[in-house]
Amino acid sequence: MADLPLIRVLLVDDHAVVRSGLSAFLAAYDDLELVGEAGDGAEAVRLCERVRPDVVLMDLIMPRMDGATATRTIRERYPEIQVLVLTSFKEDNLVQDALKAGALGYLLKNVTADELAAAIRAVRHGRPTLAPEATQALIHAATHRDVLTPGSDLTERERDVLNLMVKGLDNNQIAEALIVSRSTVKFHVSNILSKLHATSRTEAVAIALQHKLITKL
């Protein structure tokens, strides 16, 4: 590894424990150098100006500025910096949004250390790297577009969130009820609006009631 060119990496994740684990992972490879850590997308954009990494390891669901928005901003301002998404989410529209924003890779957090290191090296040299689940999401989105009835593609968790939206709960209350973070609820609500082709929470609730998507009122 010593003869490989050094790759400067910026970690972006809103969980300090995850960043700590990734930092330890990077230290195990001689050709990967940690040059900064960010807890949200806005901080990541600022750090890119200061430390100029080669690769940004980007989470997607974060407060203040999500990963897709940060990716788009970074790629527009610093096209020489590549972005590799590392997330727990594999939803079709999330994969598409990240890749449309300019991410060159999309991996799930269940990858091995060697797989992640190989992906960082690949995107550094402009080679796309997708998790099998991300590839399947793209195929699924392409083959099922425009044939789904409203709500048929909602996940079980999204239906839980929608149920609470119908009951009038806001994001903070939904987060407390489901014991998840507010950023996770925000992601699910955004997903629900996208899948129902709704422009607001009120419209999403109306569609849910119209198509009888909620049975636990």
Range of the domain at 55: 7-141
Per the structure, how many domains does the chain have? 2
Helices 41-51, 67-77: axis angle to 10 degrees equals 30
> Does residue 1 belong to any structural domain of this protein?
no
pTM value is 0.67
Average pLDDT on 191-210 reads 86
Domain finish residue from 112, 141, 170: 141
The answer on pLDDT for 61 being more than 60 is yes
Q: Does 185 share its domain with 86? A: no
Contact 20, 27 (CB under 8 A): no
Domain finish residue from 141, 174, 202: 141
> Does residue 147 belong to any structural domain of this protein?
no
Q: Does 133 share its domain with 68? A: yes
CA 176, 179, 184, 188 torsion: positive or negative? negative
pLDDT of residue 91: 79
Q: Does 60 share its domain with 89? A: yes
Helices 156-166, 171-178: axis angle to 10 degrees equals 130
Note the pLDDT tens digit of each residue in 88-99. 888 777 888 888
> Does residue 217 belong to any structural domain of this protein?
no
Contact 177, 169 (CB under 8 A): yes
pLDDT of residue 95: 86
> Does residue 81 belong to any structural domain of this protein?
yes
Q: Map tokens 């949004």 to a residue.
A: 97
Q: Map tokens 């900064």 to a residue.
A: 36
Q: Map tokens 């910026």 to a residue.
A: 10
**pLDDT averaged over the chain?**
88
Range with lowest mean pLDDT among 55-59, 127-131, 148-152, 211-215: 148-152
Q: Does 68 share its domain with 121? A: yes
> Does residue 89 belong to any structural domain of this protein?
yes
The answer on pLDDT for 30 being more than 90 is yes
pLDDT of residue 77: 93
Q: How confident is the model at residue 1 (pLDDT cuts 50, 70, 90)?
A: very low
